[in-house]
Amino acid sequence: MKTLDESIKKAGVSYGIKIGKSENIQMNTEKIDDWISTIRCKLETKQFNFVFILLDDYLQYEGFYSPLKKHSLETMGYPMQVILKNSLYKNTMSVVSNILLQANSKLGGSLFKIQIPKEIKDKNLMVVGIDISALKGQNKLNIAMCATTNPELTEYYSSKSAVPIEQDENFNRNLCFNVSAFIHEAVMEFFKKNKNLPKGVIIYRQGVSKEQRAYLSDEVLSIEKMLSGKSQNELEREIYASNPIPYYYILVNKKTSLKFFEKEKMYGKYEYSNPECGLLILNDLTDTDNFEFYVQPQKVNQGTATPTNFHVAYGNLDMPEYIPKITYDLCYMYSNWRGPVRVPAPLKYAEKLAKAEHNLHQNSKHQLYHL
Last residue of one domain, picked from the residues 106, 127, 157 = 106
* Cβ-Cβ contacts under 8 Å for 323 (sequence gap 6 or more): 202, 248, 250, 293, 310, 312
Whole-number percent of the chain with pLDDT over 70: 95
Higher pLDDT, 224 or 208: 224
pLDDT at 119 over 60: yes
Asked if residue 371 belongs to a domain, the reply is no
How many structural domains comprise the chain? Answer: 2
Asked if residue 245 belongs to a domain, the reply is yes
Q: Which residue range(s) make up the domain with 101?
A: 2-106
What digits encode the pLDDT tens for the residues 14-55? 888 888 888 888 888 889 999 999 999 999 988 888 999 988
Asked if residue 112 belongs to a domain, the reply is no
40: domain CATH number?
3.40.50.2300
Asked if residue 113 belongs to a domain, the reply is no
Which pLDDT score, from 0 to 100, does residue 43 have?
Answer: 92
What digits encode the pLDDT tens for the residues 220-252? 999 999 999 999 889 899 999 999 999 999 999
Task: Quote the CA–CA distance of 43 and 167 in Å, as a whole number.
Answer: 43
Task: Quote the CA–CA distance of 312 and 319 in Å, as a whole number.
Answer: 11
Q: How confident is the model at residue 172 (pLDDT cuts 50, 70, 90)?
A: low
Both 100 and 79 in one domain: the answer is yes
Task: Quote the CA–CA distance of 348 and 332 in Å, as a whole number.
Answer: 11
Which pLDDT score, from 0 to 100, does residue 131 have?
Answer: 93
The residue-averaged pLDDT of 190-196 equals 95
Phi and psi at residue 65, to the nearest 5°: -60, -50
Which pLDDT score, from 0 to 100, does residue 247 have?
Answer: 97
Class of residue 106 by CB neighbours under 10 A (exposed 0-12, middle 13-18, buried 19+) = buried
Both 155 and 96 in one domain: the answer is no
Both 126 and 168 in one domain: the answer is yes
Question: Which amino acid is it at 90?
Answer: K
Both 199 and 293 in one domain: the answer is yes
Both 154 and 284 in one domain: the answer is yes
Both 65 and 144 in one domain: the answer is no
Asked if residue 256 belongs to a domain, the reply is yes
Both 192 and 301 in one domain: the answer is yes
pLDDT at 267 over 90: no
Both 132 and 188 in one domain: the answer is yes
Give the rounded distance of the alpha carbon of 286 from its chain centre: 27
Asked if residue 85 belongs to a domain, the reply is yes
Which pLDDT score, from 0 to 100, does residue 175 have?
Answer: 59
What digits encode the pLDDT tens for the residues 58-91? 777 678 888 999 999 999 999 999 888 887 777 7
Asked if residue 111 belongs to a domain, the reply is no
Both 40 and 122 in one domain: the answer is no
Which pLDDT score, from 0 to 100, does residue 61 have?
Answer: 65
Both 87 and 158 in one domain: the answer is no
pLDDT at 350 over 60: yes
What digits encode the pLDDT tens for the residues 271-283? 878 888 888 888 7
Asked if residue 323 belongs to a domain, the reply is yes
Last residue of one domain, picked from the residues 106, 133, 158 = 106
Higher pLDDT, 209 or 20: 20
Both 73 and 143 in one domain: the answer is no
pTM: 0.91
Higher pLDDT, 210 or 205: 205
Question: Which amino acid is it at 151?
Answer: P
350: domain CATH number?
3.30.420.10
Which pLDDT score, from 0 to 100, does residue 188 have?
Answer: 96
Last residue of one domain, picked from the residues 77, 106, 135 = 106
What digits encode the pLDDT tens for the residues 290-303? 899 999 888 787 77
Contact 346, 156 (CB under 8 A): yes
The residue-averaged pLDDT of 111-116 equals 81
Whole-number Cα distances in Å, 319 to 125, 201, 305, 365: 11, 11, 29, 30
Both 17 and 143 in one domain: the answer is no
